[in-house]
């Protein structure tokens, strides 16, 4: 009985030790109270498809500090620590950073030159071999920038001098490449190695180096990387096709979304034969878009009676923000959106990469104006309306 009790005791000690040994603990110091009361997220990035990143946990920042703790089940993996956006347009000043979830107690220190990691085998390797070098390069970069700024206080640098400074700065960051390749090579068979390998695009590496590392990375990552390459190629082809299909003189492309009442509508519901239709792509968070509204209102007031219609397509993703902006700015014409922002198909089908963006459809349903603004837009509208009246 004595031996049984001892064995049970030893088993409990062993299990307790195993549980303790498989815990990841992170203690972070931000060195400022600026972000107190905000929640910072621990996000597990997908190695290939970053749109599939997963939020694992959140931590409240108190007195310039935060912490995470979790069980380590399986092999180590990289996480990103990031604050949510400040709003739809701005980010907080605390930089995003990576660390590795592994067994051990990790300290994360935010410095003016970048983060510093201490503890854990992989995190210590990551800091010693990459982050420390990055901090040193940032320090030397600051010296170069100060040198350039000092010269510019007395005179403007000519293009050759500016190019020389930029080349010196670029050369600094090129010093990271050999260290990055060595680090990736040592861990290429793991998820950590795969993450850092695919962190940079293919052209970051010499062609033979990329091919050799790709052959060593896990087969599942190779398959996903090939799939991503195919999707990227398809996206580029779709973009080129959209540019051609929405050139001036082509019939406009119809699409489906919803109005403010939530009813499904089409762009064609607002395009009437014999009318000139302006389609304004905007968003509540877009400052230039909001600034342009007063001019568009003036156009609408002046030319609506002559046959000008306007419909706004919002790139908002939050209905409440969209509705509030329309109400605040008292926009009198129809409003529609799919509330998918840049992730929807509308901007892709019209090859739109920035807003505000405006197209004007003529009386026959053809695109007559593509992304004109201010007086050029007004002149084009006047010409179209004048042609109607002839």
DSSP 35-83: TTT-EEEEEE--SS-GGG-EEEEEEE-BTTEEEEEEE--SS-EEEEEEP
Q: What would the two tokens of residue 330 be? A: 């008292």
Q: What is the pLDDT of residue 89?
A: 66
Q: What is the pLDDT of residue 388?
A: 65
DSSP track, 170-225: HHHHHTHHHHHHHHHHHHTTSHHHHHHHHTS-GGGS-HHHHHHHHHHS-HHHHHHH
Q: Where in the chain is the domain with CATH 3.40.30.10?
A: 256-389
Q: What is the pLDDT of residue 346?
A: 96
Q: Give CA–CA dist 114/108, Å, rounded.
A: 10
Q: Taking each helix axis from N to C terminus, what angle separates 176-187 and 159-174, rounded to the nearest 10 degrees?
A: 30
Distances (CA, A) of 189 to 173, 194, 215: 26, 7, 10
Phi, psi dihedrals of residue 276, rounded to the nearest 5°: -95, 130
Largest alpha-carbon pair distance within the chain? 109
Q: What is the pLDDT of residue 366?
A: 97
Q: Give CA–CA dist 201/193, Å, rounded.
A: 15
The residue among 279, 257, 260, 255 whose CA lies nearest residue 322 is 260
CATH tag for 256-389 (out of 3.30.1370.60, 1.10.10.10, 3.50.50.60, 3.40.30.10): 3.40.30.10
SS percent in the chain: helix, strand, coil, step 5: 50, 20, 30
Q: Give CA–CA dist 246/366, Å, rounded.
A: 9
Q: Give CA–CA dist 217/195, Å, rounded.
A: 10
Burial of 86 (0-12, 13-18, 19+ CB in 10 A): exposed
Q: Give CA–CA dist 125/21, Å, rounded.
A: 19
What is the residue-level pLDDT of the chain in tens, covering all 390 positions? Answer: 444 433 434 334 333 444 446 999 999 999 999 999 999 999 999 999 988 999 999 999 999 999 999 999 999 999 999 999 887 667 899 999 999 999 999 999 999 999 999 999 999 999 999 999 999 999 999 999 999 999 889 999 899 989 998 999 999 999 999 999 999 999 999 999 999 999 999 999 999 999 999 999 999 999 999 999 999 999 999 999 999 999 999 999 999 999 999 999 999 999 999 999 999 999 999 999 999 999 999 999 999 999 999 999 999 999 999 999 999 999 999 999 999 999 999 999 999 999 999 999 999 999 999 999 999 999 999 999 998 655
Q: What is the pLDDT of residue 126?
A: 98
């Amino acid at each position: 009985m004595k031996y049984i009790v001892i064995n049970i005791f030893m088993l409990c000690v062993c299990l307790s030790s195993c549980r303790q040994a498989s815990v990841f603990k992170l203690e972070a110091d931000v060195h400022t109270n600026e972000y107190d009361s905000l929640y910072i997220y621990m996000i597990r990035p997908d190695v290939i498809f970053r749109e599939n990143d997963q939020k694992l946990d959140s931590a409240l920042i108190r007195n310039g500090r935060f912490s995470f703790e979790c069980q380590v089940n399986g092999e180590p993996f990289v996480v990103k620590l990031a604050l949510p956006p400040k709003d739809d347009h701005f980010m907080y000043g605390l930089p995003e950073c990576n660390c590795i979830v592994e067994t051990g107690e990790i300290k994360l220190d935010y410095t003016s030159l970048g983060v510093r990691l201490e503890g854990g085998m992989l995190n210590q390797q990551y800091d010693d071999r990459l982050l420390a070098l990055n901090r040193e390069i940032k320090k030397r970069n600051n010296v170069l920038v100060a040198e350039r700024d000092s010269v510019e206080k007395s005179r403007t640098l000519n293009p050759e001098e500016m190019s020389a400074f930029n080349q010196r700065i670029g050369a600094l960051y090129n010093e990271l490449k050999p260290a990055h390749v060595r680090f990736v090579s040592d861990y290429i068979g793991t998820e950590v190695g795969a993450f850092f390998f695919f962190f940079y695009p293919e052209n970051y590496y010499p062609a033979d180096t990329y091919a050799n590392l790709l052959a060593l990375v896990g087969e599942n990552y190779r398959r996903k990387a090939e799939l991503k390459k195919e999707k990227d190629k398809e996206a580029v082809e779709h973009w080129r096709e959209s540019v051609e299909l929405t050139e001036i003189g082509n019939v406009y492309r119809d699409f489906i979304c919803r109005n403010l009442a939530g009813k499904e509508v089409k762009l064609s519901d607002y395009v009437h034969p014999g009318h000139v239709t302006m389609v304004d792509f905007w968003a509540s968070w877009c400052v230039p878009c909001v600034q342009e509204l007063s001019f568009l209102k003036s156009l609408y007031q002046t030319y609506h009676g002559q046959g000008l219609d306007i419909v706004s397509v919002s790139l908002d993703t939050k209905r409440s923000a969209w509705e509030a902006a329309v109400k605040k700015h008292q926009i009198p014409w129809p409003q529609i959106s799919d509330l998918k922002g840049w992730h929807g198909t509308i901007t892709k089908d019209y090859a739109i990469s920035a807003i505000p963006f405006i197209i004007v459809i003529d009386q026959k349903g053809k695109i007559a104006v593509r992304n004109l603004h201010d007086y050029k837009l007004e002149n084009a509208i006047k010409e179209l309306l004048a042609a109607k009246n002839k």
